[in-house]
Amino acid sequence: MLLNKNHSLKNWNTFGVDVKAKLFIEVFSEDELREILSDIKFKSERKFILGGGSNILFKKDFEGLLIKVSISGINVLEENDNSVLIEAGAGIIWNELVKFCVDGNYVGIENLTLIPGTVGAAPIQNIGAYGQEFADTFVSLNGLFVETGEQKTFIKDDCKFSYRSSIFKEELKNNFVVTSVRLRLSKNLKPNLTYKALSDYLAKNGIINPTIKEVSSAVAEIRKSKLPDPQKIGNAGSFFKNPVVSEDSFRKLKAEYSDIVSFPSESGQTKISAGWLIEKCGWKGKRVGDVGTSPDHALIICNFGNATGSEILEFAMRIKEEVANKFGIQLEEEVNIL
Ligand code: EPU
């Protein structure tokens, strides 16, 4: 491990915002991480754990110790006729784990193809796409408490997973570092084709009983067609969550906007497409300086050049205001703002 001072984070966040961390350290094992967390010289430093930097907006320099977790390894721990139990290090790029599973014909995370970020970041916001969620295959994870360096294993019930959230984004926010994750994948389940965009794409391409490789390729194609590649245009995927409203509020909105895009949610509530709400406010493809929404997807805020974190945030706040004024809905950030 190597400690860097005044380290540029431009290549460590997918928005490509040019900020610095006062202290930056990359750790390659749980032992190295424990050593750092218990090191007396860092005791008083504010600490933040960086995964892939794909869901974070730095609005200014980080005046503390930024820890990049680069713990590697993908291992099959158990295998029987029906399933496999896989353990992956928190530093593994999420899509590498997806590829490993798709190549092995292990079913359960193929719809999560090409989600940016690392394995360790996946449980924090319970990543999801095209009808699958991280929590669906999750078994347990290991990690350390930031304050004490103490180790703990969390099983599924401990994690309080919900739509784009978990205990690690709420009560334990910035207080627990994931070091490894265990998932159970099926060897004989059929792919999940409940998401309309996915089933439509497969049908259009004449694929009737897709293999998981075909599902993974289809998801990759759909993503590429509407989500800008963060390697080329700075972005962090969906900036806001899709808001969930009561049955009554939804009925009123639907009466006024018959084309509103929505999905059923838990306990009779309705999830509304934030992309649709933003587009309806006239903000799809809108640009202010180097910041703008993607012309293909209004929920993706992009850094088209050298935007600062505060310019991106200001733009996002204007979107929130417009949506609140027009629809009476308060959008909530999906991206972590630091
Ligand atoms: N839509 C619009 N205008 C837009 C964008 C979307 O009207 O500018 C409408 C369209 O009708 C479209 C529908 O919204 O068919 C749904 O769009 P999409 O399939 O892209 O899904 P989403 O609800 O916008 C969510 C996730 C994405 C995930 C997709 C696919 C959230 C906040 N976002 O987006 O996740 O890839 O579903 O499952 O739940 C991410 O978390 O960063 C992310 C990209």
Q: Which ligand 1 atom lies nearest to the CA of residue 238?
A: 42
Closest Cα to atom 29 of ligand 1: 129
Helix axes 94-103, 212-226, angle to 10 degrees: 150
Q: Enter the tokens of residue 198.
A: 């996915």
90 Cα to the center of ligand 1, angstroms: 26
From its phi and psi, is residue 291 left (phi > 0), alpha (psi between -120 and 50) or beta? beta
pLDDT of residue 328: 96
Identity of the residue numbered 198 = L
Q: Please report the domains of the chain, with CATH numbers, ordered by start residue.
A: 4-69 (3.30.43.10), 74-186 (3.30.465.10), 234-337 (3.90.78.10)
pLDDT of residue 260: 97
Task: Tell me, yes or no, if 164 is annotated catalytic.
Answer: yes
Q: Are 105 and 147 in contact (CB under 8 A)?
A: no
Taking alpha carbons only, the member of 84, 45, 56, 91 closest to residue 70 is 91
Which CA distances in Å does 84 have to 119, 120, 265, 281, 326?
17, 20, 30, 47, 49
pLDDT of residue 266: 78
* Helix, strand, or coil (residue 110): helix
Instruction: Tell me which of 26, 238, 294, 322 is the catalytic residue.
Output: 238
Beta bridge partners of 337: 57
Which CA distances in Å does 75 have to 84, 88, 89, 181?
10, 6, 9, 11
Task: Tell me, yes or no, if 162 is annotated catalytic.
Answer: no
pLDDT of residue 264: 86
For residue 237 and ligand 1, the question of a CB distance below 6 A is answered with yes
Residues of the chain with pLDDT under 50: none
Which CA distances in Å does 252 have to 240, 247, 260, 330, 336?
22, 9, 11, 16, 31
Confidence (pTM)? 0.95
For residue 273 and ligand 1, the question of a CB distance below 6 A is answered with yes
